[in-house]
Chains A and B, each alone.
Chain A
Amino acid sequence: SAVISQKPSRDICQRGTSLTIQCQVDSQVTMMFWYRQQPGQSLTLIATANQGSEATYESGFVIDKFPISRPNLTFSTLTVSNMSPEDSSIYLCSVEVEGAANYGYTFGSGTRLTVV
């Protein structure tokens, strides 16, 4: 299955600043996904990062707040802009694992963000 390197693993940021999270995949993948997981909550899809086109955002998430880049088939970034304490969460990137008997989605190790 694909291996994803996600960084930073954690950060503590001042409100009003921005943080860019990076995910590098060891193989080419068509789509990459960005999720948020707040304590005790399920994974919430923020957007789908498409190579060569704009990301597709889910309801409640906008490009100005969460700009996404996808310059090639192995890399994507998510920026959390103008942060507030409500943005404190774990952010995860994910790719679909194809071609395996037990296919599913693989996640990066997550970025634990605390906004103070």
Chain B
Amino acid sequence: RKEVEQDPGPFNVPEGATVAFNCTYSNSASQSFFWYRQDCRKEPKLLMSVYSSGNEDGRFTAQLNRASQYISLLIRDSKLSDSATYLCAVGGGYIPTFGRGTSLIVHP
């Protein structure tokens, strides 16, 4: 089993839709969790950290499920500009392991 796994997608959704991605991890001792956004031919940029209690930033909600060892990212009211690849990162020590990313395409 890979350390960090994501469904590569693509997820193809209309504007205004709600979409959710999951990311599973194998190391139960993992302590830090992140979601990154990567646009085509660009570097990954931190979207949000994921806290144990879950956290929200505008239209984006991140949650952690330690029992089932996954994190999730929920995007509400999708915008065309949300089209990108979303990478999860899971850290056991201080260096995170990245998933392959999930591609999201938001269409009009």
Number of A-B residue pairs having CB atoms within 8 Å of each other in the complex: 45
- A97 interface residue per 8 A CB criterion: yes
With a cutoff of 8 Å between Cβ atoms, the chain B residues found around residue A106 in the complex are 46
Interface string of B41-71 (1 = CB under 8 A from A): 1111110110000000000000000000000
- B104 interface residue per 8 A CB criterion: no
Residue from the list B43, B87, B96, B97 in contact with A110, Cβ < 8 A = B43
Residue from the list B43, B46, B95, B96 in contact with A92, Cβ < 8 A = B43
Chain A minimum-CB-distance residue to B96: A105
Please determine whether B87 and A104 come into contact, CB atoms closer than 8 angstroms. no
Please determine whether A112 and B41 come into contact, CB atoms closer than 8 angstroms. yes
The distance from the CB of B38 to the nearest CB of chain A, in whole angstroms, is 9
Given A42-B87, A102-B48, A103-B49, also A108-B43 (CB < 8 A): yes
Please determine whether A43 and B44 come into contact, CB atoms closer than 8 angstroms. yes
With a cutoff of 8 Å between Cβ atoms, the chain A residues found around residue B41 in the complex are 112
- B105 interface residue per 8 A CB criterion: no
Given A109-B42, A110-B42, also A43-B98 (CB < 8 A): yes
Given A42-B87, A43-B87, A45-B95, also A105-B46 (CB < 8 A): yes
A: interface residue count bin: 20 to 34
A window 16-43: CB within 8 A of B = 31, 33, 40-43
With a cutoff of 8 Å between Cβ atoms, the chain A residues found around residue B46 in the complex are 1, 97, 102, 104-106
With a cutoff of 8 Å between Cβ atoms, the chain A residues found around residue B95 in the complex are 33, 45, 48
Of all A-B residue pairs in the complex, the 7 with the closest CB atoms, nearest first, are A104-B46, A107-B43, A43-B98, A42-B100, A42-B98, A110-B43, A104-B34
**Additional 12 contacts, C-beta under 8 A, given A42-B87, A43-B44, A45-B95:** A42-B99, A42-B100, A48-B95, A97-B46, A102-B48, A102-B49, A104-B36, A105-B89, A107-B45, A110-B42, A110-B43, A112-B41
Q: Can you sample 8 A-B contacts with CB below 8 Å?
A: A33-B95, A42-B98, A43-B87, A45-B95, A102-B48, A105-B89, A107-B45, A109-B42
A residues at B contact (CB < 8 Å): 1, 31, 33, 40-43, 45, 48, 92, 96-97, 102-110, 112
